[in-house]
Amino acid sequence: MILNMSRIRMLGPKEQLQAVLGRVQDLGLVQLVEPAETESMSLLGLTPEQERHVRGIRKIVKDVDAAIELLGETPSPAKAAHDLDLPHAALVAGRCRREVEALAEQRQGLEEERALILKFRPFFGAFRKIGESGLDLDGIRVFYLVLKEDGEEELRRMRAAFRQALGDGFELLNQPSESGESAMLLAVPSADAMKAEQLLSEAGVQSLSLPDQFEEESVGSTIQRMQARLEKLPGELAAIERERKRIAGERGRDLARIQASVRDHLATIEATEQALVTPRAFILEGWLPSTARPELDRQLGKSFGNQVEIETVSSEEWAGDTVPVVLKNPRLFRPFEAITGMMPLPKYGTVDPTPFVAVFFPMFFGVVLGDIGYGTMLGIIALILRIRSQPDTKLRSITEIGLACSLFTIIFGFLYGELFGDLGHRIGLHPIIFNREEAFFPFLGFALALGIVHIVIGLLVGAVKMFRGNKRRAIGKGMAAAMVVLIALSLMAAFGMLPKRFFTPLAITALVSLPILIIGEGVLAPIELVSTLGNVLSYARIMAVGTASVMMAIVANRMVGAFGPVWVGVLFALVFHLLNFVLGVFSPTIHMLRLHYVEFFGQFYSPGGSQYRPFRHWSAHESASEKRRE
């Protein structure tokens, strides 16, 4: 659900502004906003000296953020130190940033050097051939070439072209590489170098340049130098990594403390700029959940007594403003916020779809996969990952969704009588609703029935949402839901699933309802109704994906005994079941997400809400979470 929000106004003596801001930051409940200026009250703003101070603070933030990012994981501070020595912090942050950036540059340079030398490793064999041949390379230009895989014909053409142009005045040595390409050395007299370059360009053959430190080397000594350098590079990289870890160990906690402190200090300065002041008073405005208002009153009253007044801003004053959105759901539904969180936040005053997703998503997943064995495997994997995950993380939410999906998969496995496909039937399990191996049309009808229920609920939710604003459209939305039901019942009567005598009254009722729908939704309502019925047909994918899954499981079981010895068939069956399990987890997930995001959300969902960002102490964990949400 979307929590009700209150816009509040805090008033107090001007000399208490910083103390009030500090207490509000400690509580972390209010998202401050800039109030409207009046003739008697104006924004506090910053003096030139304060602006220079802010620039210095931002420089420290930039330095410490860069240093921590390059160092990797650093310990989290116990709490921010408000009495931090800013000049000392600037010195530590700047010095540490320079040190770790220098290490990073060294590491990058060494890695680039190693990558470049490794490109020449295939040439090492050709180097040896030249050394063994005793070829005198004085006055010789050497080209390092790479020939693509299966380039024997191109190699023959190159030899012929060079022989025609240079006669016997060249040497071409090739060495196959592990990648399938061929490394080649072409040696020509320096006088013929331009002619050789032209031939290579016409042939489209790639030529490599030696690293700078080897350009002046003779070909004979290049291989020894490169191999020796390649052996030294890991040690130098390891030394840089040890130095990085040393700096992280010695200064990581200080850097984390500086980061939290200066970010808190900067946030306080930015919050100060949002205050309206007179010579004697200040005003702060902001948003907070209505349920948190008593706690704010109590804490500020405890700290400042009657010096600070808090009043609620009437909705007329903020009508049209963007209200921050806070989602709060019961513990059972909360993991499914990970699914709705993949969409933009709903607008304030609309509907949070999380409870509906929590009910329908795992149920639809179970309808598709519907196998006791696969459900048990999924549950075990989800349980192991849950134990290893951290609380309040995306992984924890996903594992709990996986547990819910595994539960419904096992339930529908019993209803279908399936245990790793038809193995359940062989050991005595019997379908309770239908056998998916044979009952294609009942399964299709079941899937479409689920689609009708899902779409109708979406339409009704949309009608309730609209009723507070546009009652005519709300009635039209409700009538669309009624017509979907009437059309479905009419079709059931036409195909004998209901008594045929119901068909005529149901069809007449649907026709009579059409003008009401047009009055409520407009002249395009019939087209939208057809589109809605098309959305219902999309739920046939539940049957299609589910049938494909059970058929693959049956094929896996029938492999036993079909490939000579039984153990060979069992091995093939296990591999096929594993593949089917992986597909059975990912494919329903993708299709169920589409049914929710497109078909279901399309009936009522209104994106465009803004994230609730209360003024509070900075936290690296919360900052990372906000970045992931963005």
pLDDT tens-digit map of 131-178: 555 555 556 777 777 666 555 677 777 778 878 777 877 777 766 665
Which pLDDT score is estimated for 102?
92
Summarised one tens digit per residue, pLDDT across range 550-596 is: 988 888 888 776 666 667 777 888 888 899 899 989 999 999 999 99
Distance in angstroms (rounded) separating the CA atoms of residues 546 and 421: 11
The upper half-sphere exposure of residue 233, i.e. CA atoms within 13 Å in the direction of its Cβ, equals: 19
Q: Is residue 423 part of a domain?
A: no
Same domain, 78 and 128: no
Distance, CA of 533 to chain centre: 32
Question: Could you tell me the CA-to-CA distances from 96 to 237, 262, 264 in Å, in that order?
Answer: 19, 16, 21
Q: Is residue 466 a contact partner of residue 477, using CB atoms and an 8 Å limit?
A: yes
| Nearest Cα to Cα of residue 440 among 544, 534, 557 | 544
Q: Is residue 372 a contact partner of residue 421, using CB atoms and an 8 Å limit?
A: no
Find the mean pLDDT for residues 415-424: 88
Same domain, 80 and 125: no
Q: Is residue 175 part of a domain?
A: yes
| Nearest Cα to Cα of residue 184 among 167, 207, 150 | 207
Tokens 């041949």, residue located = 133
Write the CB contacts of 449 (distance below 8 Å, at least 6 apart in sequence). Answer: none
Distance in angstroms (rounded) separating the CA atoms of residues 157 and 181: 17
Distance in angstroms (rounded) separating the CA atoms of residues 313 and 285: 9
| H helix runs in 313-439, sequence order | 315-318, 337-340, 354-369, 372-388, 394-416, 423-426
Q: Is residue 44 a contact partner of residue 275, using CB atoms and an 8 Å limit?
A: yes
Same domain, 88 and 134: no
Same domain, 137 and 95: no
Same domain, 194 and 270: no
The domain boundary, picked from 209, 231, 258, lies at: 209
Which pLDDT score is estimated for 476?
79
Same domain, 144 and 181: yes
The band of 36, judged by pLDDT with boundaries at 50, 70 and 90, is: confident
Same domain, 185 and 154: yes
Which pLDDT score is estimated for 545?
92
Find the mean pLDDT for residues 173-185: 65
Which pLDDT score is estimated for 253?
85
The count of structural domains within the chain is: 2
**Assessment of whether the complete model's pTM goes beyond 0.85:** no
Q: Is residue 126 part of a domain?
A: yes
The upper half-sphere exposure of residue 608, i.e. CA atoms within 13 Å in the direction of its Cβ, equals: 8
Summarised one tens digit per residue, pLDDT across range 15-28 is: 899 899 989 999 99
Q: Is residue 25 part of a domain?
A: yes
The domain boundary, picked from 190, 209, 228, lies at: 209
> Which residues constitute the domain of residue 163?
121-209
Tokens 């919360």, residue located = 622
Phi-psi region of 561 (alpha: psi -120 to 50; beta: other; left: phi over 0): left
Same domain, 78 and 152: no
**Which amino acid belongs to residue 200?**
L
pLDDT higher at 159 or 623: 159
The domain boundary, picked from 318, 352, 372, lies at: 318
Q: Is residue 290 part of a domain?
A: yes
Q: Is residue 532 a contact partner of residue 477, using CB atoms and an 8 Å limit?
A: no
Torsion of CA 400, 401, 405, 411, to 10 degrees: 50
